[in-house]
């Protein structure tokens, strides 16, 4: 697996023509799986006419080729605080799936309703690497980080209003996590979290 330069296209701010051109060049070069992030529905529809594109509206992810068989060491768990965090979580989850990981989803388990989180303790304890996605107070990363012994990749989201200041509140909260093993990526950067989770999950090599 090379640095993602070849296989991942950041769709934001690229025209349909640019994306099609890059994709075709990659396919010609023998690339099998191509991940396109931040892809608008309209562009996806146009690309679908000429390319074998799968498109997921919630995460705004498109990919060319079939989802590979998972060949990582363990399971990547993607958890969210609320339902509004799902687009970012799905960006992480689908990224990890396209990169060959088995992914478990645990959505809407925010810390204000701890029982929902604790009801899934076994999934948390058995995950190989966890992506914790949350906006507003962002406490999910700390709580999960305190429970699990594996790396926790925290993704602050811009979900919220008022003093969430576009994700700043969750970002600061996650950076200040008192739990060990927690690190943070950019606000709304589901892709970055999914990619890193996959990298950790494949450090023993692709099976």
Ligand X SMILES: Nc1ncnc2c1ncn2[C@@H]1O[C@H](COP(=O)(O)O)[C@@H](O)[C@H]1O
| Residues of this chain that bind ligand X (CB under 6 A) | 4-5, 8-10, 37-38, 82-83, 180, 189, 191-192
Candidates 72, 81, 145, 160: give the one binding Mg ion (CB under 5 A).
145
Residue 151 and residue 183 in contact, taking contact as beta carbons nearer than 8 Å: yes
Minimum distance between the CB of residue 134 and its own copies, rounded to whole angstroms?
9
124-143 binders of its own copies (CB under 8 A): 128, 135-139, 142-143
All residues at 6 or more sequence positions from 41 whose CB lies less than 8 Å from its CB, including other chains: 55, 57, 60
Task: Report the distance separating Cα 37 and Cα 9, nearest Å.
Answer: 6
Task: Report the distance separating Cα 71 and Cα 97, nearest Å.
Answer: 10
Candidates 68, 74, 166, 181: give the one binding Mg ion (CB under 5 A).
181
Task: Please report whether residue 105 would count as binding its own copies according to CB under 8 A.
Answer: no
144-183 binders of its own copies (CB under 8 A): 145-147, 149-151, 153, 156, 158-183
Q: Tell me which of ligand X, its own copies, Mg ion, none is bound by residue 137, counting a contact when its beta carbon lies within the kind-specific cut-off of 5 to 8 angstroms.
A: its own copies
Residue 100 tokens, joined: 């060959």
Give 49 or 180: the residue with its C-beta nearer to its own copies: 180
Coil, helix or strand at residue 121: helix
Q: What angle do CA 9, 13, 14 make, to 5 degrees?
A: 55
User: How many chain residues interact with its own copies (CB under 8 A)?
Assistant: 76
7-66 binders of its own copies (CB under 8 A): 8, 12-14, 18
Minimum distance between the CB of residue 73 and ligand X, rounded to whole angstroms?
22
Residue 160 tokens, joined: 């919220």
Residue 120 tokens, joined: 């899934």
């Amino acid at each position: 697996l090379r640095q993602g330069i070849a296989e991942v296209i950041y769709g934001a701010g690229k025209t349909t023509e640019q994306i099609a051109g890059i994709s075709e060049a990659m396919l010609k070069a023998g690339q099998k799986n191509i991940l396109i992030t931040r892809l608008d529905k309209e562009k996806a529809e146009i690309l679908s006419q000429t390319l074998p594109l799968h498109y997921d509206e919630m995460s705004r992810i498109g990919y060319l080729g079939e989802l590979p068989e998972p060949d990582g060491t363990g399971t990547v768990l993607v958890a969210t605080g609320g339902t509004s965090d799902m687009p970012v979580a799905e960006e992480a989850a689908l990224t990890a799936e396209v990169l060959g990981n088995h992914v478990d989803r645990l959505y809407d388990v925010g810390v204000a309703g701890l029982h929902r989180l604790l009801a899934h303790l076994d999934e948390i304890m058995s995950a190989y690497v966890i992506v914790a996605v949350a906006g507003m107070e962002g406490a999910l990363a700390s709580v999960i980080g305190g429970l699990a012994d594996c790396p926790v990749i925290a993704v602050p989201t811009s979900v919220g209003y008022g003093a969430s200041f576009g994700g700043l509140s969750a970002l600061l909260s996650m950076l200040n996590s008192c739990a060990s093993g927690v690190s943070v990526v950019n606000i709304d950067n589901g892709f970055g979290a999914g990619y890193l989770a996959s990298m950790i999950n494949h450090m023993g090599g692709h099976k």
